[in-house]
């Protein structure tokens, strides 16, 4: 949110109260408390009528500093909060002297100056990382249409050449400098500023990251309102954030996920090829079996078959009941599929249509999100008269997961947990939580409920969802996919940008719809996307109005699909090692180049190539003619296909056929193959 009108002026209706300087510093056990009025206090009279900001510095773990800025502290505590893990026995070093105060946590320190100005600086191993100074920390009153709104905002400086990344799965420019980003989950597709997965965490190429600990909307101005600062603001009287030091970007992500949660390890079968019915296509058991048998007949290895929405009857989503008109013997069908060694996934969402037989039961028992007057919130935006399951109600969770449990007993192995973004804010939840703060975190509760059911029924290490919506902590419940993208090369590139940004927020596992979701891919696009899709952590053939079996595209697509599916299967030991690292440290399988090469300035802006695990460089082809330009970072490289050796540190432009793309092995690394 922008508060200023250029550099000098504030916007109409904005009354700023900036921290002007430090009037007092207190050391309290593990906490450094700083008091900062909105004016310079030189006499006793200056202290009268002056708003006072209280800034508390502490440390939840080594190399992490928590900053809490508050104005009024007597308000009702608003819930929910993110689930965080802090180390209770960790104690930072605090010192106070005539010049100011320092709180030191491992190699990270913050120095608060005593001066007639506001300036606090964060250092990593003695090197300046970032700072806030004049007009950075503030309590802002905003008059909008005769309504007074209150915000707390902070600004942190950016150095020359500093790039900002992350903030969830964002499909726009990979480097976020110059952008305004609102952390607010939305079902906006993959071609706009909106995102399904919003995370108030960014990381920079200067060795640190910043996590804003607020479950409500957080508004970021990234070198936009002020070109040399990142500003973030929240509504209310309190702002809390964490500065997380690496110094390497991998270490930043490792510490961020130590705080917010690490991804579970998906079972090995999830890394194979997934095939879907697609969304609005016409299909029945005969269609399904023809797809599965067709893959076998063409020698294309298949791991998972997915039933999308219309496994249930239209207008009934969700009733969790197979549509008898097209699936008269679901138990027998699932058994026949599983006899072929195929796992089964079915589509679900957290909404219950009015026509569903479950609607009356959920309404009577209070299992749905309600309007303030006690009536059930309903909408026609998706399924007619649908209600939203209230996952803050433990009885509703038991009811919902009990319905899913029956599907697991039938033979279903996992669920595609679609939707969860369009959560209204004018409603009441069972737990009394603030609906503004529940909007984003609803996705966390939804996926948590389903994932934990799978762990109970299938066992630890055997759970997997295919989720679209997420926020902080959602990485604990893999896998996530990129949502509804178009069937174009441009959409293929934006999809990759989304995956790279999400990975930098600790989401270790990620997938996307090969060929795009909206529209029907032409053969050139489909074959290029096959290579990209099968060199991602998880790989799925899925679309909207067209079947995505490769022979439905053209004959060569069959060959390309078989080639890259077999390639992925051959490097499964390597992929499982990378998956283990994602599980243990939070470092994603699909990695932005700067994550592996933070000291190579050429990698800072690269968003059309990536590292798959630590040692495989992948550069998808985004042109129909097979031409691709990519960068090999400094060092020694070996071509995966030809064993050609090359030094790095320069760009290459090549033309590839459909069974090839730039795929390089780093240095003397050994990529184990089977």
The SS3 assignment for 211 reads strand
415 touches 451 (CB < 8 A): no
Q: Are strands 627-632 and 64-70 parallel, antiparallel or unpaired?
A: unpaired
622 touches 608 (CB < 8 A): yes
The token duo for 633 is: 């970072």
Angle (CA) 231 592 606, round 5°: 85
Angle (CA) 582 588 589, round 5°: 90
Give me the catalytic one of 484, 494, 513, 518: 484
The sign of the dihedral angle between the CA atoms of 168, 170, 173, 174 is: positive
CA distance 90 to 223: 34
> How many residues are recorded in the chain?
674
Rounded (10°) CA dihedral 520, 525, 531, 534: -20
Angle (CA) 200 206 208, round 5°: 45
240 is annotated as an active-site residue: no
38 is annotated as an active-site residue: no
Q: Are strands 610-612 and 636-639 parallel, antiparallel or unpaired?
A: unpaired
Give me the catalytic one of 187, 225, 254, 421: 421
Neighbours of 91 (CB within 10 A): 11
94 backbone φψ class: left, alpha, beta (φ>0; ψ -120 to 50)? beta
Q: Which residues contact 438 (CB under 8 A, 6 or more apart)?
A: 80, 215, 392, 423, 425, 429
The token duo for 264 is: 């579970």
CA distance 4 to 382: 39
Cα distances (angstroms) measured from residue 94 to each of 99, 103, 112, 115, 120: 14, 4, 11, 19, 15
Neighbours of 416 (CB within 10 A): 24
Q: Are strands 663-666 and 616-618 parallel, antiparallel or unpaired?
A: antiparallel
383 touches 353 (CB < 8 A): yes
CA distance 473 to 475: 5
Helices (H), 418-517: 435-458, 489-503
Across the strands, what pairs with 55?
34, 69
The token duo for 546 is: 């067209």
323 is annotated as an active-site residue: no
656 touches 618 (CB < 8 A): no
Across the strands, what pairs with 631?
651
Give the residue among 187, 188, 167, 185 at the shortest CA–CA distance from 176. Answer: 167
The token duo for 309 is: 């929405």
CA distance 446 to 480: 13
Cα distances (angstroms) measured from residue 121 to each of 118, 133, 204, 252: 10, 8, 16, 18
Give the residue among 589, 508, 601, 609 at the shortest CA–CA distance from 262. Answer: 508
| Per-residue burial over 597-623, b = 16 or more CB atoms within 10 Å of its CB, e = otherwise | bbebebbbebbbbbbbbbbbbbbbbbe
The SS3 assignment for 281 reads coil
Give me the catalytic one of 240, 413, 418, 607: 418
Helices (H), 75-138: none
Catalytic residue numbers read 418, 421, 484
């Amino acid at each position: 949110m922008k508060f200023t009108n250029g550099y000098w002026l504030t916007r109409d209706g904005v009354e700023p109260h900036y921290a002007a300087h430090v009037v007092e510093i207190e050391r309290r056990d593990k906490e450094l408390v700083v008091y900062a009025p909105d004016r310079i206090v030189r006499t006793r009279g200056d202290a009268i009528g002056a708003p006072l900001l209280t800034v508390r510095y502490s440390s939840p773990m080594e190399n992490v500093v928590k900053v809490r800025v508050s104005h009024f502290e007597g308000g009702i505590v608003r819930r929910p909060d993110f689930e965080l893990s802090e180390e209770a026995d960790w104690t930072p070093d605090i010192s106070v002297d005539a010049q100011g105060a320092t709180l030191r946590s491992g190699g990270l320190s913050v120095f608060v100056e005593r001066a007639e100005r506001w300036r606090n600086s964060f250092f990593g191993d003695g090197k300046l990382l970032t700072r806030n100074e004049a007009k950075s920390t503030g309590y802002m009153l905003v008059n909008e249409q005769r309504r007074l709104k209150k915000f707390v905002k902070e600004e942190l400086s950016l150095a020359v050449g500093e790039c900002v990344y992350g903030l969830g799965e964002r499909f726009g420019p990979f480097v976020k400098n110059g952008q305004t980003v609102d952390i607010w989950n939305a079902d906006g597709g993959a071609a706009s500023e909106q995102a399904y997965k919003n995370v108030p965490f960014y990381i920079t190429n200067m060795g640190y990251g910043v996590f804003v600990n607020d479950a409500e909307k957080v508004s970021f101005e990234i070198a936009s309102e002020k070109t040399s600062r990142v500003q973030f603001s929240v509504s209310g009287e309190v702002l809390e954030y964490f500065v997380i030091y690496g110094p390497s970007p991998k270490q930043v992500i490792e510490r961020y996920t130590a705080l917010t949660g690490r991804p579970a390890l998906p079972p090995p079968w999830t890394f194979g090829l997934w095939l879907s019915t697609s969304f609005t296509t016409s299909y029945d058991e005969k269609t399904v079996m023809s797809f599965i048998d067709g893959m076998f007949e063409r020698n294309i290895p298949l791991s998972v078959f997915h039933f999308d929405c219309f496994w249930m009857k239209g207008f009934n989503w969700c009733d969790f009941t197979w549509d008898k008109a097209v699936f008269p013997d679901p138990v027998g069908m699932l058994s026949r599929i599983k006899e072929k060694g195929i796992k089964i996934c079915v589509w679900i969402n957290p909404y219950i249509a009015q026509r569903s037989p479950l609607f009356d039961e959920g309404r009577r028992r209070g299992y749905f999100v309600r309007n303030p007057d006690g009536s059930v919130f309903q909408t026609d935006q998706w399924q007619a008269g649908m209600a939203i399951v209230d996952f803050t109600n433990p009885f509703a969770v038991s009811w919902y997961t009990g319905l899913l449990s029956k599907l697991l007993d039938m033979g279903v192995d996992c669920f595609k947990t679609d939707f969860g973004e369009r959560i209204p804010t004018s409603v009441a939840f069972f737990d009394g939580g603030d609906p503004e703060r529940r909007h984003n975190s609803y996705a966390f509760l939804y996926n948590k409920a389903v994932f934990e059911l799978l762990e109970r029924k299938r066992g630890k290490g055997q759970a997997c969802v295919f989720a679209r919506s997420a926020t902080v902590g959602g990485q604990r419940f893999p896998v996530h996919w990129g949502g509804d993208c178009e069937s174009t090369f441009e959409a293929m590139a934006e999809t990759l940008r989304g995956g790279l940004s999400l990975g930098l927020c600790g989401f270790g596992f990620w997938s996307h719809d090969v060929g795009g979701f909206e529209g029907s891919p032409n053969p050139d696009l489909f074959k290029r996307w096959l290579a990209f899709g099968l060199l991602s952590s998880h790989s799925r053939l899925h679309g909207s109005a067209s079947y995505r079996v490769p022979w439905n595209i053209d004959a060569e697509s069959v060959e390309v699909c078989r080639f890259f599916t077999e390639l992925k299967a051959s490097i499964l030991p390597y992929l499982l090692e990378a998956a283990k690292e994602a599980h243990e440290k939070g470092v994603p399988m699909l990695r932005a180049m700067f994550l592996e090469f933070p000291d190579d300035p050429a990698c800072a802006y690269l968003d059309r190539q990536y590292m798959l695990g630590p040692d495989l460089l992948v550069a998808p082809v985004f042109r129909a003619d097979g031409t691709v330009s990519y960068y090999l970072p400094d060092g020694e490289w070996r071509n995966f296909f030809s064993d050609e050796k090359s030094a790095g540190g320069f760009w290459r432009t090549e033309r590839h056929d459909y069974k090839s793309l730039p795929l390089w092995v780093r240095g003397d690394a050994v990529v184990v193959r089977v």
